[in-house]
Amino acid sequence: MAEQKFQLYAATASGLEALAGQELRDLGYDVRVDNGRIYFEGTMTDILRANIWLRSADRIKIILKTFKATTFDDIFDTVTAMPWDQWLPMDAKFPVNGRSKNSKLFSVPDIQAVTKKAIVNQMAGAYHRKSRFPETGALFTLEIALNKDEATLTLDTTGDSLFKRGYRQEKGEAPLKENFAAALIMLTNWHTDMPFVDPMCGSGTLPIEAALMARNIAPGINRHFLCENWHPDNLKISNELKEEAKTKQNDDVVDITGCDIDGSMIDIAKLNANGAGVLHDITFKQVAVKDFKTDKEDGVIIANPPYGKRMGDQKSVRKLYEQMGQVFKPLTTWSKYILTADLEFETFYGEKATKRRKLYNGALRTDYFQYWGHRSHK
């Protein structure tokens, strides 16, 4: 499996495809971006490299087969004809998940059951086994997804979603997922030689992700991936790639600040930053938005204020937007980026955004309000 070439895709949240596509191009891959997925091909080494390095993606999956399926026989016959014994060891644990959209076959439990039965059928012949398979070994998570009568069979290589970086000790009330936070930073004009401020940093996700980027620390360096368990070679490759990633880290001095009104959140943010190995790269301060001040120029502010829908009541949140507008107004050389689900944000902030971008934070529709600064000519 190590040197075999696979058809692959990276899954992302809706609206972030272009970012993950660019990340894969930067890693040296030819990609095709389509509807929440970035298609590319590669070996097990490439799969592990993508899992270790991608900041904005959710997971990497292997495409085992794509075929037309309008009857259960179509699924059974096609799946039975596939060489499952080349992918799955005899003791493999292989749950089959299913999805169906705009297709004649719509009963997901039946689709899953037929697929599983077909896999067992092929493996029974290949492994000369009449009794049930033990399913006590490594986990291989399969999915059959039908869309407009086209079935796609995939194998997940990631396991827990890539947003689980392995550094989060504790979280706040409504934390940003780490890959979404990384995407928010990528959508700004921030460069690592510019000041970066999150004025309401909560458990610290945005400043931590900024520090990981600035120091070129691979986001997946402290975690494991599902495919590492499939073969001893895979774990060896993964460990080698992680060691190689460590040599690419830099010790650049960065100017990253995280503030929050709540001292207990600042304590949690420091714990998380320490877990990520970037505590000394970030200045954490307990300070309310209304008291925020800076003499620095040409920086970037990214804020993810409470939305009113999820926490607190709308009135107090909109008061906070007003305070933000007043505090940020004098910072003319700074660019400000604010994520909120309150589509009337500009009214309370007191200024129309240079640009708005629709993003989905999980299932929640949000807008990313962008206010571009006028750089000082030093």
Q: What is d(CA 224, CA 246) in angstroms, rounded to the nearest whole number?
A: 16
pLDDT at residue 169 in the model: 83
Instruction: Tell me how many degrees the CA angle 319-323-324 measures, rounded to the nearest 5.
Output: 115
pLDDT at residue 144 in the model: 98
**Number of structural domains, the chain?**
2
Residue 355, token pair as written in the block: 């640009």
Give the pLDDT confidence of 198-223 residue by residue, as tens digits: 999 999 999 999 999 999 999 999 99
Pair 128, 193 in one domain: no
Q: Which amino acid is at 135?
A: E
Residue 201 lies in a domain: yes
- Using an 8 Å Cβ cutoff, are 335 and 369 in contact? no
Residue 231 lies in a domain: no
pLDDT at residue 131 in the model: 87
Q: What is d(CA 259, CA 290) in angstroms, rounded to the nearest whole number?
A: 11
Residue 352 lies in a domain: yes
CATH number, domain at 96?
A: 3.30.2130.30
pLDDT at residue 1 in the model: 63
Residue 190 belongs to domain spanning: 178-218+248-371
Instruction: Tell me how many degrees the CA angle 141-147-151 measures, rounded to the nearest 5.
Output: 55
Those residues with Cβ within 8 angstroms of residue 191's Cβ, 6 or more apart along the chain or in another chain: none
Q: What is d(CA 204, CA 218) in angstroms, rounded to the nearest whole number?
A: 18
Residue 49 lies in a domain: yes
Q: What is d(CA 195, CA 92) in angstroms, rounded to the nearest whole number?
A: 50
- The list of the chain residues with pLDDT below 70 reads 1-2, 308-312, 378
Could you tell me which of 278, 157, 146 has the C-alpha nearest to residue 207? 278
Q: What is d(CA 250, CA 60) in angstroms, rounded to the nearest whole number?
A: 27
pLDDT at residue 307 in the model: 72
Residue 234 lies in a domain: no
pTM: 0.94
CATH number, domain at 267?
A: 3.40.50.150
Q: How many CB atoms lie within 10 A of CB 368?
A: 22
Q: What is d(CA 206, CA 182) in angstroms, rounded to the nearest whole number?
A: 7
Pair 189, 49 in one domain: no
Decide the pairing of beta strands 282-286 and 300-303: unpaired
Pair 188, 152 in one domain: no
